[in-house]
Structure 1
Amino acid sequence: MQVYLYGANVTSWKNDHGEELLFVSSKAVFKPPKAIRGGIPICFPQVGGLGNFEQHGFARTRVWTIDQNPPPLQESNSYRAFVDLILRPSEGDFKFWPHSYEFRLRVALTPGGDIILISRIRNTNRDGKPFTFTYAFHTEVRVEGLETMDYLDNLKGKERFTEQADALTFESEVDKTYVSTPNKIAIIDHEKKRTYVVWKEGMPDAVVWNPWDKKAKAIADFGDDEYKHMLCVEPAAIEDPIPLKPGEEWTGRMHLSAVPSSYCSGQLDPKRVLYGTNCCIYLIAVWQRVSTVSSIT
Structure 2
Amino acid sequence: MNEVRISTPEGAEATISLFGAHLMSWKTADGKERLFLSQRSALDGSAAVRGGVPVIFPQFATRGDGPRHGFARTATWRLVEQANDWAELALAQSDLQRNHFQSWPRAFELRLRFELKADALAVRYTVRNTGQQDFSWAGALHTYFAVAEFDQAKVDGMPFKGALDDIRPATPQLRLDTGAGTLQLEQQGFSEWVVWNPGAQGATATADMDDSDHRRFVCIEPARVDKQVLQAGAEWTGLHTISLIP
TM-score interval (norm. to shorter): 0.7 to 0.9
Alignment of 1:91-130 (within 5 A): 91=97, 93-95=101-103, 97-110=104-117, 112-125=118-131, 128-130=132-134
CA-to-partner distance for each residue in 1:269-297, whole Å, 9 max, x for gaps? xxxxxxxxxxxxxxxxxxxxxxxxxxxxx
Task: Give the structure 2 partner of residue 7 of structure 1.
Answer: 20
Q: Distance in 2 between matches of 1:232 and 1:113?
A: 20
Aligned-pair distance for 1:93? 4.5
Alignment of 1:246-265 (within 5 A): 246-260=232-246
Alignment of 1:112-261 (within 5 A): 112-125=118-131, 128-139=132-143, 140=145, 142-145=153-156, 167-171=158-162, 173-179=163-169, 181-189=170-178, 191-192=179-180, 194-238=181-225, 240-260=226-246
CA-to-partner distance for each residue in 1:130-149, whole Å, 9 max, x for gaps? 00111112234544449xxx
Q: Distance in 2 between matches of 1:235 and 1:249?
A: 18
Aligned-pair distance for 1:40? 1.1
Task: Give the structure 1 partner of residue 150 of structure 2.
Answer: none
Task: Give the structure 2 partner of residue 87 of structure 1.
Answer: 91
Q: Distance in 2 between matches of 1:122 and 1:2?
A: 25
Identity across matched positions, percent: 32
Say whether 1:66 aligns with 2:55. no
Aligned-pair distance for 1:12? 0.9
Q: Distance in 2 between matches of 1:143 and 1:45?
A: 30
Aligned-pair distance for 1:55? 1.5
Give the TM-score, by structure 1 length: 0.70
Assess, with a 3 A threshold, how the Cα gap between structure 1 residues 5 and 143 changes in structure 2: closer, same or farther: same
Q: Distance in 1 between matches of 2:92 and 2:102?
A: 11
Assess, with a 3 A threshold, how the Cα gap between structure 1 residues 145 and 258 changes in structure 2: closer, same or farther: closer
**Which amino acid in 2 is paired with 1:254?**
H
Q: Distance in 1 between matches of 2:85 and 2:160?
A: 37
Q: Are the counterparts in 2 of residues 101 and 121 from structure 1 also a CA contact under 8 Å?
A: yes
Q: Are the counterparts in 1 of residues 81 and 87 from structure 2 also a CA contact under 8 Å?
A: no
Task: Give the structure 2 partner of residue 27 of structure 1.
Answer: 40
Unaligned runs of 5+ in 2: 1-13, 148-152
Q: Are the counterparts in 2 of residues 44 and 134 from structure 1 also a CA contact under 8 Å?
A: yes
**Which amino acid in 2 is paired with 1:116?**
A
Give the TM-score, by structure 2 length: 0.83
**Which amino acid in 2 is paired with 1:122?**
R
Q: Distance in 1 between matches of 2:42 and 2:193?
A: 26
Q: Distance in 2 between matches of 1:197 and 1:48?
A: 26
- Note the aligned Cα RMSD (angstroms): 2.0
Choose between structure 1 and 2 for higher RCO, CA contacts under 8 A separated by at least 6 residues.
1
